[in-house]
Structure 1
């Protein structure tokens, strides 16, 4: 008993299996993880090594090259890139795409770093490189907390209290008087405000603007009260105060949490003055301090970490606290005290060591020595020197102030259009990742529930927003693709109803959910997620999926029409065509399955496409041989085939097809000439089709990136980013909803194609959130033209890519040993780029030289004075940037205690000369300017390397309407003769989109060749002939040209997904021809002449082919219209290619068959029954 017979005669069991199949599919759908894009394993890591004080070339030679050499010892490492900056090395390691045991490789690389013992030492300790292999993970949610501005109510309340303090402070003082008011939150240390106030008062007094001045501390403010001398005006005082605020930025004299200062004459005017000053700040003055924002972020992070769905969480925009020990160089010199003594005393005092154990009868007690600092207040009591008569404590030589690390490493703002006041608001973002393999919907529900509970614990006016929300994107994308799938199913059913009687259409419609359910079950077992690729694969497979059921239904109807009982016809029809259906299914499978050979990120991105299509084809084959006979037994009653009537009795489309086929066969050489001419014409038009690897995606976010000149501070970059945001807002208008700005580093990897920039003070990223995803690309293109060109630095506008990251599309890499020569060649390449129309944003990744304040130690003088180069570096580091001595522990935070020179002793460059250099061993001390010289010098801001060579990459974008591939082709032609003139050791290579395209198309070509050979082998086995498979392949070139013409017609470039469409199109075409040949052989067995046989076979296949092709085409239409730019190329290739190939299959293939039989004699057409008593002879060929 065959399988088909079993399902007809054992119907109760068959019905039970049908129910189980549907339940299996529903269960699998509920269990399969959902995501927007396929999971791509990021086989990249970064090794960060701080090397304070070293220039980029010193970092390269002493650190970077040694790490590179160590990393390349592992054979799994494909590529090593590096960036050597001032004081830091960053080495990027990329593993081969074929690496399976990536975790073991990372462990081996980490072990190699541990034994790397020839790196330089800093402060007596060898450098410790740190490997981060998770920096490429994509975040699921960006939670952005933004502070509201201070309210008018708060300003009024503060003004009343401060106004009373001003009145009291002026009592008994001669007038007229002015008062400077420095408002501060409760978290700002009072001694910091006092130092700031006294510094302002001192500056005003020295400028002759203030007399009879006093500083008065009150709750929430510091007051500077003074009398204006004769001849001075209030405007003079206001100007002097603003100058002080501007000059104090970056010196530590100001505080980021303080309100801007105001000057008042009448205390009654304080409220209005404060409101005016506060509103002059873009976005207003933040109500919550950086520390409060950090605390709120910690509360949310701690609560989210309790979730079983939440993985790693990073915080961006947090300002790290620090305790500063501000010392006076003059004071320490007078006391003969080396600053390093402070380091030693603090380190010895701040310990957390075990004190052993005490054995008592019946128990053992641990001894815990005290020592760790509990607060900054304890620091002042640390003794430094036990001098005769009085001890010297830290409070005697240093001012202890708690604040934030200065200058800040990063800043973060959120701007929402419609806010009052408008402008950037202080923000902190939590980058939340979800644990791989978990349901994104369950992650979303759990995070939402926890945030709802947390709202009661957070201030009502603290804004918490999802500035990137993968769960919502996944839901939208899956809903969109599910709609496409439903629409495709409806179209397939409608097509079946048009070309088949209603019972047959109903049977085909019933087969679809069964095949889809079985497909989902198999995909769940294979570990496939529900994402846009897998759902689109189902849509693509829909036409293939109904092919077997359509053929099976048609076969059952034929058997019923010939008079067989229902129970016999239900299994006999599919059984007769089982061999042909099997080979057609295998053909389609081997057309798609080789796509698994595509390597790299592109291969991982499309991995689920061949798997889902293959599962669909297997499911379709199983359904056609099992449930179709079962359902056909109940539903079908017989339908006459198109080929059943006598040729003279045929009507309508059948009669038209018969006449056209006979004409083509009768004039077969003319037909072949016309077809060949059309084929050649089509191929000649292919060069008109442009190429683009992956299109831009549809998203409501794009980025504007600011790369400012080296040496730009984070605060300057933030001010420039705010200015650019205003320009964007003026150009974009109501199309933009909000902006999220990261300064000093890029945002997290919230999208697959986003590659975060490494931290740099001169970098800022503005994420522009639009209201309509379909308007994003047009707005971004408009901004490229609307934003004014920059005199310094550069600005880029980048739309998110749909696929693995490529970056800037046009890239030329120039390799060579000498930096100066590399810059010359780079300038030459940039000149060639500018000469090509359509290029934009031309730049290289080295950036112009930066200025450095060179401090050259005179060895002879230093030796005489008894100091070393290390002593000089130590005193300048401590004086200017500060030296971390030890840490203050608060909960899970370690707050550095930093020794730093007083702001007023390092405000000017000439202050450096007054520093005193100490030698802790000899006790020698000498002014810095006596042992060193100062000079400005130009140095490269960074040194980039690739695969152990210095490498400069020159990049550019293509303007809208210009394809990057056209720019690269033109650029390569101009570069080759120029490169021949370069010195030995210098060469160029093409990167960017073309490099990825070459890799991708090479993989696709490999998959196509494997597919073609596998199909040919299957055909040889099926037909036992070497020549018949060539006939089968005859329709393939026409389908390919048709697909390429689809790209030309719809003006879509040839990209990766178009290549996938062309590769898979071959199997679909061949499968139709295989079944056509099966009908030709059946007619042959009935004794028909070859010409009648091919016409009747075409008529017999006409309805199934039309149903299948139109179902496939119709199913692809919703995907082409709604699936976004990623799917358009594939859909257009298959839609036009299938339509062209269908005409070729039904008209040209019969002509070729007759030519092979009658004219060339390559295929025998023996009378039926010739070989009934023995095996048939071997076919010709």
Structure 2
């Protein structure tokens, strides 16, 4: 270590060292401004959903003839963890979950699943619609806007939402814009079977007439001496009037369709997904950010675009933002800057009190230099500012000054012993460089399990190790290169004949007296240490253990589950009744309800619910975290007292980390569905008896009602 003395080199080449410091600070400032900003780190969503529809099939037929062949092909993949299948009459949903060790290669696995199932299509039942694939579960909407209007139908709301979507698609840093809760329009032809029988017209004849009139067929072309001219035949059904005027043959008579049927415009019935804002119908617009972009900048761009869009809206149409990730991230950055300044002030005060003014300044100046270099390395590694990296930087703030304190204190000691400043810097390297490096690496290794964990949690939180490790190693280089240079410039030179014993000061004499007293009463000290260790172990048993903490965000979730087979209208009624439990409460800013599936993913840890007409989720935005807790207690008390009796209501809030759904889950597997259902009910009964559980639920739900006609 003495041959390569970086401290001696830095103080003997001050111009080069100063240039390196200035370059590091400039590059760090540039990296700080340009680094991507997001609420959570990106991690691989290892879930794909495969859906298929077969109208008229029973749940057993969907399971045996559709789900099982697909499952068998998917199970051939070595990356597969498990497949969960939900079979309902006429529909099946398969949730494909990959192993935790799968990361960037997930896209290739999704391609293999598509290829295997597409090869299987010819063997699936005739009339099957699908299978369809959804592997975009990782899309998080950085902003969600809800379009509402008094007296407007969902078609009109969708028109305004489409206009907003088109406008936002062209905005900077926008990757995707999707509509939320839109209901497609349909043209309904309602026929009286009694009248058709009287006229001798079959329903199929009407279907064929509509299809033939609306068919897209080539009418040919003809050539002139200079051109080839295409022939277009009009007559397609472009309006309700054209459909009503469609001729239908009834024997020798030709009738208008409007004379024998009611033709009207409406919405798809039943709807697949509905959205409400404060109890009123709405259509939402969700905006997903491009990878590596700055969500704070995106928020500013979107705010300007939406404000311009609002100016063109007619009276009564409103656009409300229900999710603003930019505001959350900006608040997190404010906290980081506040914490950084607090740490800097603490370091300055402690250093000034214990080491002196100039020594404290040397230590304090090392902090921004370390952070600047860390920002540059983060940018080179493709890391962003997010919850994990900011948390790691806050952790590192308490550690990265240690090496600088050791190095500058050793210089001070050597100067007090009569060394000049260059010799003191060289001696500080010889005495402390290797022990400091060892301690730095050992400290960084303490975060190694998180960084190397082959799990979703490890992927989510793994950057703690990399950022803390980088900061500690950079702090060592700054301590042995920059700190000696700063000491050369700021520490006072030795005074001739003023050197003295470095450890013969009042502070060290007090410390020495304390150490001597501890050695004289060594058995008492050992006993107190062991007692403290035992007390710590006992006390840990009373500390709540949770790897990822509960978020301080103000959102509150109400999950409404109706009996299986419930209509989406009945589910919407129950969900709005649950939402009404806090209607008018001053703690509520606004609430949005989503029926037929879960809320759109506006937060990485939100676990999207699969499509189900008997499920709804309400997102209540409280005024703050304290208001959220009051609302939760109020809703839970109302539900316990019998509110919304037709549904199972669960209240939840955001928890950091990968999505988990229910925190405790048991899976019952067996060949006989009836036996599996009985055993699952017994497991649920055991969980209900536990005072630490709230409303345990079964994902099979009840058996749906069916009318079977035997011919």
- In structure 2, C-alpha distance between the alignment counterparts of 1:413 and 1:521, rounded to whole Å: 45
Does 2:601 match 1:749? yes
1:343 is the counterpart of 2:207 = yes
Q: Give the aligned partner of residue 477 of structure 2.
A: 622
Report SS of the residue matched to 1:128. Answer: strand
* Structure 2 residue corresponding to 1:103, chosen from 99, 102, 107: 107
Distance in 1 (alpha carbons) for counterparts of 2:221 and 2:381:
57
Q: Is the 8 A contact 2:5 2:429 kept in 1?
A: no
Measure the CA separation in 1 of the matches of 2:442 and 2:684: 50
2:149 to 128, 141, 147: 147
Preserved contact between residue 833 and residue 842 of structure 1 (Cα < 8 Å): yes
Cα shift readout 1:222-275 (whole Å, capped 9, x = no counterpart):
xxxxxxxxxxxxxxxxxxxxxxxxxxxxxxxxxxxxxxxxxxxxxxxxxxxxxx
- Conserved 8 A contact 2:183-2:271: yes
Indicate the SS of the match to 2:316: coil
Question: Partner of 2:170 in structure 1?
Answer: 306
What is the aligned partner in structure 2 of residue 79 from structure 1?
82
Among 624, 627, 636, which residue is 1:784 paired with?
636
Task: Give me the TM-score of the superposition, normalised by structure 1.
Answer: 0.57
Match of 1:297 among 120, 140, 161: 161
Q: Deviations over 1:522-570 (max 9, x none)?
A: 1111111111221221121122211111111011112211222223323
2:665 corresponding residue in structure 1: 811
Q: Structure 2: state its 5+ residue gaps.
A: none
How far apart are the structure 2 equivalents of 1:328 and 1:846? 38
Backbone CA RMSD of aligned residues: 2.5
Q: Distance in 2 between matches of 1:532 and 1:331?
A: 67
For 1:685 and 1:741, the matched residues in 2 are separated by 42
Mapped to 2, the partners of 1:133 and 1:646 lie a distance apart of 66
2:563 is aligned to: 709
- Do the aligned partners of 1:62 and 1:119 also contact (CA within 8 Å) in 2? no
Q: Shift in Å at residue 719 of structure 1? A: 2.5
Q: Name the counterpart of 1:410.
A: 273
Matched, 1:321 2:185: yes
- In structure 1, what is the equivalent of residue 699 of structure 2? 845
Q: Which has the larger radius of gyration?
A: 1
Partner SS, residue 568 of structure 1: helix
2:551 equivalent in structure 1: 697
- Aligned-residue offset at 1:355: 4.6
How far apart are the structure 2 equivalents of 1:723 and 1:623?
61
> Structure 2 matches for 1:1108-1123, cutoff 5 A?
none
SS in 2 for 1:813: coil
Which segment drifts farther, 630-639 or 87-96?
Answer: 630-639
Q: CA deviation at 1:356?
A: 5.2
Distance 1:372 1:506 in 2: 82
Structure 1 position 345, deviation (Å) = 2.3
SS of residue in 1 equivalent to 2:679: helix
1:393 Cα offset (Å): 4.2
Tell me the distance in 1 between the aligned counterparts of 2:380 and 2:505.
50
In structure 1, the residue matched to 2:533 is 679
What does residue 760 of structure 1 align with?
612
Tell me how far apart the structure 1 counterparts of residues 547 and 366 of structure 2 sit (CA, whole Å).
Answer: 37
Question: Hey, what's the Cα distance between the residues in 1 that align with 2:451 and 2:14?
Answer: 39
Given the superposition, is the C-alpha separation of residues 81 and 367 from structure 1 closer, same or farther in structure 2, using an over 3 Å criterion? Answer: same
| Structure 2 residue matching 1:78: 3-state secondary structure | strand
Cα distance in 2 between the residues matched to 1:646 and 1:714 = 81
Matched, 1:16 2:22: no
The count of aligned residue pairs is: 702
Tell me if the contact between 1:332 and 1:338 (Cα under 8 Å) persists in the aligned partners. Answer: yes
The Cα shift of 1:372 comes to 3.6
Offset, 1:354: 4.2
Q: Deviations 1:648-669 (Å, cap 9, x if unpaired)?
A: x663x42343233234445656
Alignment pair present for 1:397 and 2:254:
no
Q: Distance in 2 between matches of 1:650 and 1:456?
A: 72
Q: 2:588 maps to what in 1?
A: 736
Query: 1:137 aligns to what?
Result: 139
**Aligned equivalents of 1:720, 1:713: Cα separation in 2:** 11
CA distance in 2, matches of 1:353, 1:654: 98
The verdict on how the C-alpha distance between 1:589 and 1:645 changes in structure 2, with shifts beyond 3 A counting, is: same
Shift of 1:22: 0.3
Q: How does 1:983-1062 map to 2 (within 5 A)?
A: none
Cα distance between partner residues in 2 of 1:498 and 1:44: 56
d(CA) in 2 for partners of 1:693 and 1:565?
51
Cα pair distance change 1:677/1:446, threshold 3 Å? closer
Cα distance in 2 for residues equivalent to 1:4 and 1:310? 48
List aligned pairs for 1:1018-1167, cutoff 5 A. none
Query: Aligned-pair distance for 1:353?
Result: 4.1
Helix, strand or coil for the counterpart of 2:140?
coil
After superposition, the Cα gap between the structure-2 partners of 1:407 and 1:683, relative to the gap in structure 1 and judged at 3 Å, is closer
Provide the C-alpha distance between the structure 1 equivalents of 2:537 and 2:531, rounded to a whole number of angstroms.
10
Cα distance between partner residues in 2 of 1:141 and 1:768:
16
CA contact (8 A) 1:4 1:629 kept: yes
Q: How does 1:599-998 map to 2 (within 5 A)?
A: 599-637=454-492, 645=501, 651=506, 653-665=507-519, 668=522, 671-672=525-526, 674-729=528-583, 733-787=585-639, 788-789=641-642, 791-856=645-710, 858=711
Q: Where does structure 1 lack aligned partners over 5 or more consecutive residues?
A: 149-286, 416-423, 859-1181
> Residues 1038-1085 of structure 1: CA distance to partner in whole angstroms, max 9, x if unpaired?
xxxxxxxxxxxxxxxxxxxxxxxxxxxxxxxxxxxxxxxxxxxxxxxx
Matches within 5 A, 1:425-436: 425-436=280-291
In 2, Cα distance between the equivalents of 1:692 and 1:10? 51
Q: Do the aligned residues in 1 keep the contact of 2:558 with 2:652 (CA within 8 Å)?
A: yes
Distance 1:472 1:765, change over 3 A: same
Deviation at 1:712, TM superposition (A): 2.7
Say whether residues 1:448 and 2:300 are aligned partners: no
SS of equivalent residue, structure 1 residue 624: helix
Q: Distance in 2 between matches of 1:754 and 1:136?
A: 10
Return the alpha-carbon distance in structure 1 between the equivalents of residues 512 and 137 of structure 2. 65
Q: Secondary structure at the match of 1:852?
A: coil
The answer as to whether partners of 2:420 and 2:494 remain within 8 angstroms in 1 is no
Could you tell me whether the CA contact under 8 Å between 2:200 and 2:251 is conserved in 1?
no
Contact 1:698/1:774 (8 A) holds in 2: no
Q: Which residue of 2 aligns with 1:889?
A: none
Correspondence for 2:244: 380
Match for residue 412 of structure 2?
557
Distance 2:651 2:39 in 1: 24
What is the correspondence of 1:226-245 to structure 2 with a 5 Å cutoff?
A: none
Q: Once the two structures are superposed, what CA deviation does each residue of 1:484-522 show, in whole Å capped at 9, x if it has no partner?
A: 222122112212122111111010011111111111111
Give the CA deviation at 1:134.
0.4
The counterpart of 1:508, out of the listed 354, 363, 374, is 363
Tell me the secondary structure at the aligned position of residue 709 of structure 2: strand
- In 2, Cα distance between equivalents of 1:468 and 1:142: 5
User: How far apart are residue 799 of structure 1 and its match?
Assistant: 0.9
Kindly indicate whether the alpha-carbon contact (under 8 Å) linking 1:412 and 1:428 is maintained by their aligned counterparts in 2: yes
- Report the secondary structure of 1:429's partner residue: strand
Q: Secondary structure at the match of 1:603?
A: helix
Compared CA separation, residues 639 and 69, structure 1 to 2 (3 A): farther
Residue equivalent to 2:348: 493
Separation in 1, partners of 2:308, 2:140: 26
Q: Is the 8 A contact 2:607 2:660 kept in 1?
A: no
- SS of the equivalent of 1:589 reads helix
The alignment partner of 2:8 has SS state of: helix
In the alignment, the residues of structure 1 paired with residue 336 and residue 327 of structure 2 have an alpha-carbon distance, to the nearest angstrom, of 14
Q: Distance in 1 between matches of 2:576 and 2:140?
A: 27
> Structure 1 CA distance, aligned partners of 2:100 and 2:345?
40
